[in-house]
Amino acid sequence: MIRYIFITGGVVSSLGKGIASAALGSLLQLRGHGVRLRKLDPYLNVDPGTMSPRQHGEVYVTDDGAETDLDLGHYERFTGVSARKSDNITTGQIYRSILEKERRGDYLGATIQVIPHVTDAIKDFVLSDPGDGVDFVLCEIGGTVGDIEALPFFEAIRQLGQELGPERAVFMHLTLLPYIASAGEMKTKPTQHSVKELRSIGIQPDVLLCRCDRPIPETEKRKIASFCNVRPASVIEARDLGHIYDVPAAYHEEGLDREVLAHFGLTGAPPPDLTRWLSISERIHNPDGQVCIGLVGKYTDVPDAYKSVMEALDHGGLANRVKVEVRLIDSEQFDDMARPLEILEGVDGIILPGGFGERGAHGKMRAAEFARNRNVPCFGICYGMQLSVIEAARSLAGLSKASTSEFGNTGETVVGLMEEWTRGNEKVVRTAKADKGGTMRLGAYPAILREGSLAAKIYGQAQISERHRHRYEVNAAYIEALEAKGVVFSGMSPDGRLPEVFELTDHPWFIGVQYHPELKSRPFEPHPLFSSFIEAAKIYSRLV
């Protein structure tokens, strides 16, 4: 019997519903249960693929090619369960599906309404097959209770709560307990109002997870329980912590997993073995050293734009027992060729993450040139790899006009759209599609690594599978010219047409990859490229 846990949020956004959901999922796993986590997003976009990182943060890509909310990255990192297209849905997807059915006549002339058509579609998503061995499906509802756009989702889960019954459904509500310094008091009123709003639409929370910056007095817990109609033991303290990987152990200590299981009458489950999480926490808080990594990107004012990259760098630090300090550097400031690069002088490694568009691109190329000339470990990802190849083509191979067709045609299209690559320096030919969300190579693709290359040594295998999200590719027609100048394309698509990995042979550690390895990195299984990159940064830090 599959049981469902619905996670909602109140008072303010950004309280950490995604982390809370992921941590609870991990705790249930450690008690021997199979889990799947899903995200319901109320926005009208079909998916976040065309949304600005400043609006939405990073786009997380699954193996099967879905562009999803970044919370799915938390789910994967905490539980190790690979997310799928069926684990994230938006209002836009629901309405598109319903309207397509209506146009086909599937509703036989019925009037299409939010209830029951939209709510039924949401329920179908929640109840869709989670796969084998799943005991709990955790569904996080995006946004905050009271948001107009989220009302159909709340109504859908209210109906599910009635249809499934308390033996198969539990509601967990995440709220905020602010501390008013001038009064010297922790205030419960925002939580009371949030629960009142939730109850007004027919949902009685079973567990309250209360974010706070200090311990909650027992008197306040009893007050919250009384006014919010929950048991005192179900008021769970979610205090601010030093690191997100401290959350599972802290939430277990406060009794979150115990209370959820008790609601279902599952009181005989063995306690979770938190050894792995405690080991991760010990490494985080007691490192043997520190390295500084310069992340050169165009969205550095919004750290969530690079959430998975930042997490993967931390994982590389865990593998090497060092703390990774990430210095966020705006690449746009280096577009001015006269602007000095002194901010890069103190870093032990440079990472060039993905992105789109010409703004900030020249700054990334200058950072790649800096790393190449100074022997600073450098890691180019997706767009960062493409720009590193263009920089090498200009500086090493003498192709002064080398560029990407994303910026226009210069006559030397080293990077371009992939439809009709030919040998020689001919232009890329491709018919543009109106749907910008449908023109990319998305999801997991295989690559073959060259024997004896640095990449092959790092991976320890000849064939890999990694997740992609990009429209443009490095033009294989330029491989010969570049490899004659110290560049090695050490990873290729199985058909040999698409470069996937490149290296500089006379550099201690300079690797670019067309894919996004950060999406497959986990705290318990750091991605080998990030582990190796941080190791190279450690070595560099001792040399300078």
Backbone angles phi, psi at 9, to 5 degrees: -130, 150
| CA–CA dist 381, 133 (Å, integer) | 35
| CA–CA dist 429, 411 (Å, integer) | 13
**DSSP assignments along 422-458, one per residue:** -SSSPPP-----S-GGGSSEEEEEEEEEPTTSHHHHH
Q: Which residues of 110-136 are buried (b: 16+ CB within 10 A; e: fewer)?
A: eeeeeeebbbebbbebbeeebeeeebb
Count, residues in the chain: 544
CB contact set of 381 (below 8 Å; sequence gap of 6+): 309, 351, 352, 353, 354, 512, 513, 515, 516, 517, 518
| CA–CA dist 272, 275 (Å, integer) | 9
| CA–CA dist 286, 305 (Å, integer) | 28
Specify whether 382 is catalytic. Answer: yes
* DSSP-derived pairing of the beta strands 207-212 and 35-41: unpaired
116 prior amide bond cis, ω within 30: yes
The active-site residue out of 382, 473, 507, 535 is: 382
Closest CA to 390 of 495, 300, 472: 472
* Strands across the sheet containing 136-141: 88-90, 35-41, 136-141, 3-9, 169-176, 207-212, 235-239
Alpha carbon 538 to its chain centroid, in Å, reads: 26
The residue type at 70: L
The active-site residue out of 503, 518, 527, 535 is: 518
CA dihedral 469, 472, 476, 481 (to 10 degrees): -120
Tokens 């109504």 locate to 155
Q: Taking the CB of residue 165, how many other CB atoms lie within 10 A of it?
A: 9
The active-site residue out of 117, 173, 252, 516 is: 516
CA dihedral 231, 233, 234, 238 (to 10 degrees): 140
Contact (CB, 8 A) for 536 and 510: no
Paired tokens of 194: 């949030």
| CA–CA dist 538, 40 (Å, integer) | 41
CB contact set of 149 (below 8 Å; sequence gap of 6+): 42, 43, 44, 91, 143
| CA–CA dist 491, 463 (Å, integer) | 9
Please state, in angstroms and as integers, the Cα–Cα distance from residue 391 to each residue in 26, 296, 364, 400, 422, following that order: 43, 15, 9, 9, 22
* DSSP-derived pairing of the beta strands 472-474 and 179-180: unpaired
Catalytic residues: 382, 516, 518
